[in-house]
Structure 1
Amino acid sequence: MALQWHMKPILLILICILNDAATLVISVDNAKISAHPDKWRIGQLIFLSIVLGALLTALSFATFFVARDVFHVTNDQLEAIMYLHISSAPHFVIFSTRLSGHFWENMPSPIFFIAIMGTQVFAMLISVYGVIVGEAIGWIWGICIIAISLVYFVFLDFVKVFIFKRWNFEFTAHAWPTKARKEKLAARKIRTVQQERVWKSIDRVRQLGLKVKVLEAMSVK
Structure 2
Amino acid sequence: MSFVLIFLIGSVPVALPAVLTIVQAVGAMALSKKGIIVSRLTSLEDAASIDIFCFDKTGTITQNKLSIIACQPLTGYTAEQLLDAAGLAADQEHPDAIDQAVLNYAAEIKHPLDFSKRQQFTPFDFATKRTEAVITTTDHRQMRVIKGAVPTILALYAKQHPADTAPASAAIQQLATANAKKGYRSLAVASVVDSQMALVGVLAIADPPRADSASMLARLKNLGIKPMMITGDSVPIARDVAEQVGIGTKILPAKALKTGTAADKIQLIHESDGFANVFPDDKYQIVKLLQEDGHLVGMTGDGVNDAPALKQAELGTAVSSASDVAKASASIILTHPGLHDIIAAITTSRQTYQRMLTWVINKITKVIEIIILFTLGFFWLKVSLVSLLGMSLLVFANDFATMSIATDNVQSTAGPNQWRLGPLTAASGVLGLWFALVDLVIVWLGLNQFHLNLPVLQTAVLISLVFNSQFRLLIVRERGHFWTSWPSRTLLAVNLFTIVIFALLALTGWLMPAISSPLLVTILLLTLAGTIVLDFLKVAVFRWLKIA
Name which of 137, 142, 159 aligns with 2:520: 142
The one-letter code matched in structure 1 to 2:516 is G
Name which of 12, 18, 36 aligns with 2:415: 36
The one-letter code matched in structure 2 to 1:146 is L
Give, in whole Å, the separation in 2 of the partners of 1:102 and 1:154: 9
Alignment gaps of 5+ in structure 1: 169-221
The one-letter code matched in structure 2 to 1:129 is T
Name which of 498, 501, 508 aligns with 1:122: 501
Deviation of the 1:43 alpha carbon: 2.5
Equivalence for 1:26: 405
Please show how residues 38-57 of structure 1 align to structure 2 within 5 Å: 38-57=417-436
The Cα offsets for residues 24-81 of structure 1, whole Å up to 9 and x where unpaired, read as 1111111222233234333321111111111111111111112102321222321211
Moved more, 5-14 or 37-46: 37-46
The Cα offsets for residues 76-111 of structure 1, whole Å up to 9 and x where unpaired, read as 321211110011113311111112111111110111
Describe the SS at the equivalent of 1:80: helix
Equivalence for 2:541: 163
Equivalence for 1:88: 467
Give, in whole Å, the separation in 1 of the partners of 2:496 and 2:410: 17
Asked if the contact 2:450/2:519 (under 8 Å) is kept, the reply is no
Asked if the contact 2:506/2:512 (under 8 Å) is kept, the reply is yes
Equivalence for 2:490: 111
* Rg (Cα) greater in structure: 2
Give, in whole Å, the separation in 1 of the partners of 2:517 and 2:448: 20
The Cα offsets for residues 123-154 of structure 1, whole Å up to 9 and x where unpaired, read as 111111211112x2122211221222111111
Equivalence for 2:28: none
Q: 1:131 and 2:497 equivalent? A: no
Describe the SS at the equivalent of 1:73: coil
Equivalence for 2:396: 17
The one-letter code matched in structure 2 to 1:66 is L
**Quick one: percent identity of the two aligned structures?**
26
Moved more, 144-153 or 34-43: 34-43
Describe the SS at the equivalent of 2:523: helix
Asked if the contact 2:507/2:516 (under 8 Å) is kept, the reply is yes
Give, in whole Å, the separation in 2 of the partners of 1:106 and 1:38: 20
Equivalence for 2:137: none
Alignment gaps of 5+ in structure 2: 1-377
Please show how residues 200-215 of structure 1 align to structure 2 within 5 Å: none
Asked if the contact 1:93/1:156 (under 8 Å) is kept, the reply is no
Equivalence for 1:60: 439
Deviation of the 1:114 alpha carbon: 0.6
Equivalence for 2:450: 71
Describe the SS at the equivalent of 1:77: helix
Give, in whole Å, the separation in 2 of the partners of 1:69 and 1:144: 14
Give, in whole Å, the separation in 2 of the partners of 1:71 and 1:24: 35
The number of residue pairs the alignment matches comes to 167
TM-score (norm. length: structure 1): 0.70
Cα pair distance change 1:8/1:167, threshold 3 Å: closer
Give, in whole Å, the separation in 2 of the partners of 1:69 and 1:5: 17
Give, in whole Å, the separation in 2 of the partners of 1:59 and 1:151: 10
Asked if the contact 1:22/1:116 (under 8 Å) is kept, the reply is yes
Give, in whole Å, the separation in 2 of the partners of 1:148 and 1:67: 13
Asked if the contact 2:438/2:526 (under 8 Å) is kept, the reply is no
Give, in whole Å, the separation in 2 of the partners of 1:69 and 1:140: 15
Give, in whole Å, the separation in 1 of the partners of 2:419 and 2:471: 24
Q: 1:154 and 2:543 equivalent? A: no
Equivalence for 2:249: none
